[in-house]
Amino acid sequence: MTTAIARLDTRSLRAPLIRPWGPDVTDLTLVEVVVEDTDGAVGHGFSWTPTIGGHAVQALLDHDIRAFVLGRPADAVALWPDLWACLHEAGGSGITTIAMAGVDLALWDLAARRTGLGLVDLLGRRRAGTPAYGSGVNLHYPLDELVAQAERWVDAGFAGVKVKVGSPDLADDVRRIRAVRDTIGPDRFLAIDANQRWSLERAERAIAELAPFDLRWIEEPLRADDLPAHVALRERLARARVDVPIALGENVHTRYRFAEFLATGVVDVVQPNAVRVGGITPFREIAALAAEHDVEVAPHLLPDLSGQLALTLPHETLVESVEDASFAELGILAGPAPIVIEHGRARDTGRPGLGIEFAAD
């Protein structure tokens, strides 16, 4: 018989970044969520956002979400649609789904601990390890620092890397991508990420000029919520016979929006962020949608969590490893990391539940 949720507590955390992601992104904000059921079992989850919105997320958890979930079944899959329906008036995504993720993750952690399993084995393990790639938030790096970072990724054994583009002068992007390709060689894959910086016309021109560097994908070339522009970009690239896969998803927050992008055939790699979409429950639904459309899944950030989810997906899945930005590298975990990346591959460490508990201080 499913127990009920008896307690929900939150704690705000700030994790300074070892390598700032830009002048205005120097730390990460997390909200730890602890759920206890009527049998006294406890689960640990979290919500996450770089810099912006953490106080609003915690307020939503402490007020509307706590009031709704207390006394309801401690079952993540059963709770999610009802909680989303309750919060939808305040917005169907964004702060609402980020806050929901804290509860969803805590309930999955609780369920795994009850069975004595780690998350991977609770969900259904498909493999022992999966490839990771080196990723950098590095558009602000001078060229020599960018090349040095690419060299570290090569030394770490990554089979591929991803770097930022979107410089004011396209010639600078070409120069930087050429230098990275020269550094990593022809046998490693190279992906690029524009972080929504381009207009449709700029994207068409930039992708055409960068395509000769044999790109694994171009990520977020346009505003993430502009589906018609993505349709137009696909048509323009096809007419120009430019074949570069399009990746997106870190700023798409619901399974309904993912379904729209998948149905129109404008995306080749979907990148759901397990927290931004609302937790493990909707992440799995999005992954199933992608499989129906034969589209690759490559989770966005959070390797401590997404690395575990990758081990449960039907096809081998790339895990994004942003340099010096995992929870373990940031030094905010109370115990060993649930995921380790060695020689370019991610594997779980068999920690119970999610294996993500934050240090008391």
Q: Residue 27: is it exposed, middle or buried by C-beta count within 10 angstroms (0-12/13-18/19+)?
A: middle
Q: Which alpha helices (DSSP H) does the chain contain, by range?
A: 54-60, 66-69, 76-87, 95-115, 119-123, 143-155, 170-184, 200-210, 227-239, 255-263, 280-292, 303-310, 327-330
Looking at residue 185, its amino acid is G
Q: What phi and psi, each to the nearest 5 degrees, are found at residue 286? A: -65, -40
The position carrying tokens 């207009």 is 199
Q: Is 300 a catalytic residue?
A: yes
| β-strand pairing of 27-37 with 129-135 | unpaired
Query: Hey, what are 101's tokens?
Result: 């993720």
Chain centre distance of CA 45: 15
Active-site choice (44, 162, 230, 300): 300
Q: How far apart are CA 238 and CA 25, in angstroms?
A: 36
Considering only CA atoms, give the Rg of the chain. 20
Q: Is 164 a catalytic residue?
A: yes
CB atoms within 10 A of CB 265: 12
Active-site choice (162, 164, 230, 253): 164
Catalytic residues: 164, 300
